[in-house]
C-alpha cells in the first residue's frame, strides 16, 4: 500500500508542471508514467512553446498583448471554446516561461518557425538543451519529495462518498492502490488507441499518419469518464501538415520526397479535383485541416519536365519545414530547394514503397489512382491554363507558385496523408482545470491537464505556434495550484 496527497497520472509536460508545482508546495506527490521514460510529447515531440507578454518578448520589444492573443485565438475558434479557460491559459503563459527558466528549462524567443507567420509578432519560445532540462525538472520534483513511478499505469480512480480516496495502478503485472485525496490526469490523450481513434476520426484511419505518443491510449480519459466526466468534445485531432508515407513501413523516409511534399505543386483529391491553394503548406495547422477535410489524403502531381528541371538546378521556393529545422540549428535560411540529382531513383523508391505512381499518360495515371479520368484530365487542363496565364481564379494561388505545368510524360503522383501530433480533446474542464460532469459541476478532487483536457480548441488546432505545448505546461501549473487550494481546505 502506498499513499500520497495527490497522484499525477502522466509525466509529460502537463504532468511534470503539475507535479513540480505540488511538490514545491510541500504536498506528497506520486507521478505515474506508463512508459519507461518521462517527458511525453512535450519533450520528444515539441521544440518549444507559445507565450504572450513574456519577459523575453518585452525585452525584445515585441508588440503583442494578452488582449490581442486572446482575441486572435477566440476568433479562430469562433467562440466555440471555453473562453475563461482560454484567458487563464494565455494569462499564465508569460510567467510559465520564467518558471521553467528558474527550474532549469531555458528557452529563447525565436522567429516564428513557419514561413507564413513571419509577419506575426514573435511568440515561439524554443527549448534550449531540452533533454537535459527535462532531467533537471524531474530532479527538482524528486528533491522536493516527489516520487516518479515508471512503467506504471493508472487504471481506476477510486471514490468513496463523493470523495477521491485512491488510484488503482498496474505495475509489472501487479495491481495495487495508491491512497490519495486528489488526482491530476495528464496522460496525453488517446492517439495511441486505434479503436478510439477509429471511433472519433472523420477519415479512414489508414490515411492517418500519427506522430503522437503511442502509449497515450486514453486511460486517464476513461478513468474520469467512469466518474461521470463530460467527454462531448473528444474527437479533436491536432492535424499538422501532411506526410508521404509508405504503407509498408511508416518509418520510411526519403529526403527528396519529403521536400517535394513541402512545396506548393498541384494537388488533387480522391476524385481527381484540385481543392485548395497549395501554398497552404506554409501554415502547418491549415495545411493539416485542408488535408483532413479533403478526406485524409491527396495526390501531388508532377511531370517529367519538372523532374528534369529539379535534377539539375535549384528552385527558389522555400521548403515549408526549412525554417523549423534551421531555427533549431541556428542556421541561415536558403529559401531554395534542390537540385536533386537522384530524383529519378527517389521517385522509383517511392513507387516501390507504394507511396508513389508513374504513368506514361494522364489517363493511365488516373486509373492507377482510382480517380475519375475525366475530372483528372480537366483538372490538369485547367491548371495548365492557370500556369500559362500566371493567374489562379479558382483558389488564388500566388503567381510565384504557378511555375510548372503538367504536360510532359511520364507523369508522377505522390500520396500525402493526414498527419496528427495527437488528440486535443478529452474531458471538459474549467479555468481551474477541474474535471467537469455533463451538468458542468466539478468532480471533487479530480483535475485534468494537457491533451486529456477539452475547452481550448474548437474542432481543429489553431495557427498560433506552440499553443498545444503551452497549453500542456500552463494547464499543468494551473491544475497544481488548484489542487493545493483544494487540499488546503
Peptide bond into 347 cis (omega under 30): no
Under 8 Å between Cβ of 245 and 281: no
Mean pLDDT, rounded, for 235-242:
95
For the segment 133-179, what is each residue's pLDDT rounded down to a tens digit? 999 999 999 999 999 999 999 999 999 999 999 999 999 999 999 99
Helices (H), 185-273: 194-200, 219-225, 255-261
Mean pLDDT, rounded, for 82-88:
98
> For residues 358 and 10, what is the distance between their CA atoms, to the nearest angstrom?
46
> For residues 173 and 474, what is the distance between their CA atoms, to the nearest angstrom?
34
Name the CATH code of domain 2-236+424-488 (choices 3.30.420.40, 3.30.70.100, 3.40.605.10, 3.50.50.60). Answer: 3.50.50.60
Helices (H), 25-82: 40-44, 55-59, 66-76
pLDDT band at 489 (very low <50, low <70, confident <90, very high): low
pLDDT at 326: 86
pLDDT at 450: 98
Mean pLDDT, rounded, for 411-433:
97
pLDDT at 406: 99
Going by DSSP bridges, is the β-strand pair 163-171/174-179 parallel, antiparallel, or unpaired? antiparallel
pLDDT above 80 for 212: yes
> For residues 315 and 61, what is the distance between their CA atoms, to the nearest angstrom?
35
The contacts of residue 180 (CB under 8 Å, 6+ apart) are 3, 4, 5, 6, 7, 30, 164, 165, 166, 167
Compute CA distances 104 → 134, 188, 436, 469, 483, whole Å. Answer: 8, 23, 33, 17, 24
Mean pLDDT, rounded, for 280-304:
98
pLDDT at 36: 96
For the segment 162-175, what is each residue's pLDDT rounded down to a tens digit? 999 999 999 999 99
Peptide bond into 410 cis (omega under 30): yes
Under 8 Å between Cβ of 183 and 157: yes
Mean pLDDT, rounded, for 208-223:
96
pLDDT at 359: 99
pLDDT at 328: 79
Q: Do the domains 2-236+424-488 and 240-419 sit in the same CATH topology, yes or no?
A: no
> For residues 357 and 368, what is the distance between their CA atoms, to the nearest angstrom?
7
pLDDT above 70 for 471: yes
In the DSSP assignment, the letter for residue 59 is H
Phi-psi region at 129: left, alpha or beta (left = phi > 0; alpha = psi -120 to 50): left
CATH of domain 240-419: 3.90.700.10
> For residues 12 and 189, what is the distance between their CA atoms, to the nearest angstrom?
11
The contacts of residue 58 (CB under 8 Å, 6+ apart) are none
- Our CA dihedral for 413, 418, 421, 423, rounded to 10 degrees, sits at -170
> For residues 298 and 312, what is the distance between their CA atoms, to the nearest angstrom?
27
Cell numbers for 335, please give them.
529559401
Break the chain into its structural domains and give their ranges: 2-236+424-488, 240-419
pLDDT band at 330 (very low <50, low <70, confident <90, very high): confident
pLDDT at 329: 82
pLDDT at 456: 96
> For residues 290 and 281, what is the distance between their CA atoms, to the nearest angstrom?
9
Burial zone of 480 (CB within 10 Å; 0-12 exposed, 13-18 middle, 19+ buried): buried
Contacts 24+ apart (CB under 8 A), 310-313: 310/337, 310/338, 310/339, 310/340, 310/343, 311/338, 311/339, 311/340, 311/341, 311/342, 311/343, 311/344, 312/339, 312/341, 313/338, 313/339
> For residues 187 and 153, what is the distance between their CA atoms, to the nearest angstrom?
9
pLDDT at 327: 81
pLDDT at 475: 99
Cell numbers for 271, please give them.
476524385
Mean pLDDT of the residues in the chain: 97
Cell numbers for 349, please give them.
523508391
pLDDT at 416: 99
In the DSSP assignment, the letter for residue 53 is S
From the list 242, 282, 276, the residue with the least C-alpha distance to 420 is 242
User: E strand or H helix at 485, and its extent?
Assistant: helix 467-488
> For residues 441 and 91, what is the distance between their CA atoms, to the nearest angstrom?
24
Cell numbers for 326, please give them.
534551421
For the segment 344-394, what is each residue's pLDDT rounded down to a tens digit? 999 999 999 999 999 999 999 999 999 999 999 999 999 999 999 999 999
> For residues 295 and 205, what is the distance between their CA atoms, to the nearest angstrom?
11
pLDDT at 1: 75
Amino acid at each position: 500500500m502506498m499513499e500520497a496527497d495527490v497522484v499525477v497520472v502522466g509525466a509529460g509536460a502537463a504532468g511534470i508542471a503539475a507535479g513540480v508545482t505540488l511538490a514545491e508546495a510541500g504536498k506528497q506527490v506520486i507521478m505515474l508514467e506508463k512508459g519507461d521514460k518521462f517527458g511525453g510529447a512535450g519533450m520528444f515531440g515539441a521544440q518549444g512553446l507559445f507565450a504572450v507578454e513574456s519577459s523575453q518578448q518585452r525585452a525584445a520589444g515585441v508588440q503583442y498583448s494578452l488582449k490581442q492573443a486572446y482575441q486572435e485565438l477566440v476568433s479562430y475558434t469562433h467562440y466555440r471554446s471555453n473562453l475563461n479557460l482560454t484567458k487563464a491559459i494565455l494569462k499564465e503563459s508569460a510567467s510559465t516561461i520564467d518558471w521553467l527558466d528558474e527550474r532549469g528549462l531555458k528557452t529563447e524567443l525565436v522567429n516564428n518557425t513557419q514561413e507564413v507567420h513571419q509577419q506575426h509578432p514573435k511568440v515561439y519560445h524554443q527549448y534550449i538543451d531540452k533533454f537535459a532540462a527535462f532531467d533537471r525538472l524531474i530532479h527538482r520534483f524528486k528533491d522536493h519529495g516527489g516520487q516518479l513511478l515508471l512503467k506504471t499505469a493508472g487504471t481506476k480512480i477510486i471514490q468513496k462518498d463523493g470523495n477521491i480516496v485512491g488510484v488503482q495502478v498496474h505495475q509489472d503485472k501487479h495491481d495495487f492502490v495508491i491512497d490519495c485525496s486528489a488526482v491530476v490526469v495528464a496522460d496525453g490523450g488517446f492517439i495511441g488507441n486505434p479503436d478510439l481513434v477509429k471511433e472519433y476520426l472523420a477519415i479512414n484511419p489508414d490515411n492517418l499518419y500519427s506522430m503522437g505518443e503511442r502509449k497515450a491510449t486514453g486511460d486517464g480519459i476513461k478513468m474520469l469518464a467512469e466518474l461521470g466526466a463530460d467527454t462531448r468534445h473528444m474527437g479533436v485531432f491536432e492535424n499538422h501538415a501532411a506526410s508521404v508515407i509508405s504503407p509498408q513501413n511508416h518509418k520510411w523516409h526519403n529526403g527528396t520526397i519529403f521536400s517535394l511534399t513541402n512545396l506548393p505543386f498541384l494537388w488533387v483529391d480522391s476524385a481527381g479535383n484540385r481543392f485548395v491553394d497549395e501554398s497552404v503548406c506554409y501554415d502547418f495547422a491549415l495545411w493539416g485541416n485542408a488535408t483532413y477535410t479533403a478526406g485524409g489524403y491527396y495526390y501531388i502531381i508532377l511531370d517529367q519536365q519538372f523532374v528534369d528541371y529539379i535534377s539539375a538546378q535549384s528552385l527558389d521556393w522555400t521548403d515549408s519545414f526549412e525554417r523549423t529545422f534551421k531555427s533549431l540549428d541556428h542556421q541561415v535560411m536558403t529559401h531554395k530547394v534542390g537540385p536533386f540529382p537522384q530524383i529519378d531513383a527517389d521517385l522509383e523508391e517511392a513507387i516501390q514503397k507504394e507511396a508513389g505512381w508513374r504513368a506514361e499518360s494522364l489517363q493511365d495515371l488516373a486509373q492507377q489512382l482510382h480517380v475519375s479520368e475525366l475530372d483528372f484530365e480537366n483538372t490538369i487542363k485547367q491548371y495548365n491554363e492557370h500556369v500559362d496565364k500566371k493567374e489562379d481564379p479558382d483558389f488564388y494561388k500566388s503567381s510565384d507558385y504557378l511555375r510548372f505545368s503538367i504536360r510532359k510524360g511520364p507523369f508522377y503522383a505522390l500520396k500525402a496523408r493526414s498527419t496528427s501530433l495527437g488528440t486535443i480533446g478529452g474531458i471538459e474542464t474549467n479555468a481551474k482545470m477541474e474535471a467537469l460532469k455533463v451538468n458542468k459541476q466539478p468532480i471533487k478532487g479530480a483535475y485534468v491537464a494537457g491533451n486529456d483536457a477539452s475547452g481550448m480548441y474548437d474542432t481543429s488546432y489553431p495557427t498560433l505556434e506552440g499553443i498545444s505545448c503551452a497549453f500542456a505546461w500552463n494547464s499543468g501549473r494551473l491544475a497544481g495550484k488548484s489542487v493545493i487550494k483544494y487540499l488546503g481546505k
